Amino acid sequence: MPSEVYTFKIVGPAGAGIKSSGVLFSQMLLAHGLNLRDYSEYPSLVRGGHNTYQVSFSAGEILAPHYQVDLLFSLQTKHWQEHQPEFTDKTLVFGDDAANVLPLKELATKVGGQLYANTICLGVAVFILNLDLATCTAIIKKQFGDDSPNNLAFITGYDYASSNFSNLKKESSYTVNSKLETANYLYEGNDAFGWGFIQAGGNFYAAYPMTPSSGALHFLASKQEKYQIKVLHPEDEIAAASLAAGASFAGARSAVGTSGGGFALMVENVSFCGAAELGVVFFLVSRPGPATGLPTWTGQGDLLFAVNAGHGEFTKIVIAPGTQQELFEFAGTALNLAAQFHVPVILLSDKFLSESGSSLPDLSQQKLNIIASTKAIPGMPGQEFMANSYEHDDDGFATEDAAVIKKSVEKRLAQFEDIKKIVPHPILHGPKTAKKLIVSFGSPTTTILETLRLLNNPDYAFLQICSLWPLDPDLEKFLKPFPEIIVIENDATAQLTSLIKSQFDFHPTKTILKYDGRPFFPEELKKLL
């Protein structure tokens, strides 16, 4: 039987510390040796609106956040009501107007103001879940300092729960993880990418802030001095991509980060890198579009845009990790592919993967393989390399000679055959004898894996496609043995299905699409499969 999964959720307006308090609670769970996956939602507002943070955790394996909530805290009235579809008959809801009345307004006023309502909720949660009070108190003090009113707020919440909610206390068996050397950390996908970039020798990163990719810019900027990397925030996305191309020419292992609208501005530079033979990683963290679209929500609608990015014919690579750990590893893979083949590499993520967190071992201590570029760089004795955006000969000189042009085009495209051999291959999760094969890519991976873990049904297997361009030439061999094929995509037009059909004879039995800005959840997929 799968280990018990429990989900904590805190909701309220922007500016009330929803995510910061939720992440702090996750730190308490990690201190008890629990595995976790988190997820947050927020509108494109600085104040007001409705923000959420939830974390699903287990003493055993857990691969994705769950939809059903066990413990919910509403920081303001009329907020918890938005989540009633997520409740079961065992869900505990706390707030000023909830079934379990928690007078947050009154308690927070006594502590020092409504700013401390979120920390009061943490005290209640620690009591309800029977977590170690001393450990959790130490985490609060480490976060806010010994003299912060948050310490009083936390104890106020704990004491109130002790006096009023003792009948709701969960008799859990969570014990503190005293083996600090094996402790896990909470990593959002953007941070995992940042660590992969550093550990794989990345040393130049440029980005104009654009949700949901901005976390990578902020993370890497904070590591500049310690890891001797250069991080720039220029005036726009065109400048960011141009700077990264110039840095690549100068010998840097460079990358840029953006989302769909920003990537649209970078596309001319993608073609430039393809023509000039410059290896640059484009970290594309998708959100739903078109235009400004849904800035703070998730979707996979940029797949075909990424695959077809750029004018003219040239070699590019598009790879898509499915977990935070893979995002760390694929950051290194992308840098190595860019260095080895001197082509643009698009690392495709989305809001759900990049802004959700996972408990992982210390990424700052994990090493990645580094493949060095063989391209000559300025100042290298006895060698030269001319980066030319015009069609050019082997020495880099512009040409309009028909024979030379034909040779140059064929040279660029010939790389594709070598690239196909070393890009990340599809991963088959589950038995080869299964009757039904799920096919997907990117962020739905974690939810699909969690769904299969809960189903524990040998009739299902999952094929995770990791390289979107080029597609693995043996993909058809993976697909053929399965009588039924189910494609799952976080978009409205089945772009993965279209992409596979463009290269293979592919006729899925069923397609499951979601395109409302929200990710898939395990409970949802169980009903749809």
Mean pLDDT of 465-489: 96
The Cα 322–Cα 353 span in angstroms is 7
First vs last Cα of the chain: how many Å apart?
20
Q: For residue 175, what pLDDT is reported?
A: 77
**227, 355 in Cβ contact below 8 A?**
no
In the chain, what's the furthest Cα-to-Cα distance? 86
179 band by pLDDT with thresholds 50, 70 and 90? low
Map out the domains of the chain with their CATH numbers: 6-182 (3.40.920.10), 187-422 (3.40.50.970), 427-528 (3.40.50.920)
377 band by pLDDT with thresholds 50, 70 and 90? confident
Mean pLDDT of 238-257: 98
Q: Flag whether pLDDT at 310 surpasses 80.
A: yes
Q: Flag whether pLDDT at 372 surpasses 60.
A: yes
Q: For residue 1, what pLDDT is reported?
A: 39
Token pair in block for residue 453: 């873990």
Q: What is the dihedral sign for C-alpha 405, 408, 410, 412?
A: negative
Q: What is the 3-state secondary structure (H, E, C) of 233-253?
A: CCCCHHHHHHHHHHHHHCCCC
Q: In what helix (H) or strand (E) does residue 136 lie, and over which residues does it extend?
A: helix 133-144
**165, 120 in Cβ contact below 8 A?**
no
The Cα 89–Cα 6 span in angstroms is 14
Phi, psi of 211 (to 5 degrees): -60, 135
Classify 226 as helix, strand or coil.
Answer: helix
Residue-wise pLDDT tens digits, 136-155: 999 999 999 999 999 999 99
Mean pLDDT of 235-261: 98
432 band by pLDDT with thresholds 50, 70 and 90? very high
Q: For residue 7, what pLDDT is reported?
A: 97
Classify 271 as helix, strand or coil.
Answer: helix
Q: For residue 383, what pLDDT is reported?
A: 86
Q: Tell me, what DSSP letter sits at residue 81?
A: G
Q: With 0-12 CB in 10 A as exposed, 13-18 as middle and 19+ as buried, what is 246?
A: middle
Residue with tokens 């918890």: 80
For β-strands 510-513 and 185-188, DSSP reports them as unpaired
Q: pTM surpassing 0.85?
A: yes
CA torsion angle for 154, 157, 162, 168 (degrees, to 10)? -120
Q: Residue 422: CB partners within 8 Å, gap ≥ 6?
A: 337
Mean pLDDT of 426-445: 97
DSSP assignment of 108-158 equals HHHHTSGGGHHHHHHHHHHHHTT--HHHHHHHHHHHH-TT-HHHHHHHHHH
Q: Residue 457: CB partners within 8 Å, gap ≥ 6?
A: none
The Cα 294–Cα 291 span in angstroms is 9
Phi, psi of 282 (to 5 degrees): -105, 105
Q: Flag whether pLDDT at 42 surpasses 90.
A: yes
Sheet strands side by side (includes 345-350) = 230-232, 204-207, 254-258, 280-286, 345-350, 317-319, 467-469
User: Which is more confidently placed, 182 or 54?
Assistant: 54
Q: Per the omega criterion (within 30 degrees of 0), is the bond before 209 cis?
A: no
Q: Flag whether pLDDT at 180 surpasses 70.
A: no
Q: Flag whether pLDDT at 178 surpasses 80.
A: no
The Cα 124–Cα 235 span in angstroms is 46
Q: Flag whether pLDDT at 2 surpasses 80.
A: no
For β-strands 185-188 and 357-360, DSSP reports them as antiparallel
E strands within 35-96? 35-41, 48-58, 69-74, 87-95
Q: For residue 327, what pLDDT is reported?
A: 98
Work out the mean pLDDT of the chain and round it to a whole number.
95
The Cα 55–Cα 22 span in angstroms is 8
The Cα 300–Cα 97 span in angstroms is 38
CA 284 to chain centre: 11
Classify 344 as helix, strand or coil.
Answer: coil
Bridge partners, residue 187, by sequence: 358
CA 522 to chain centre: 17
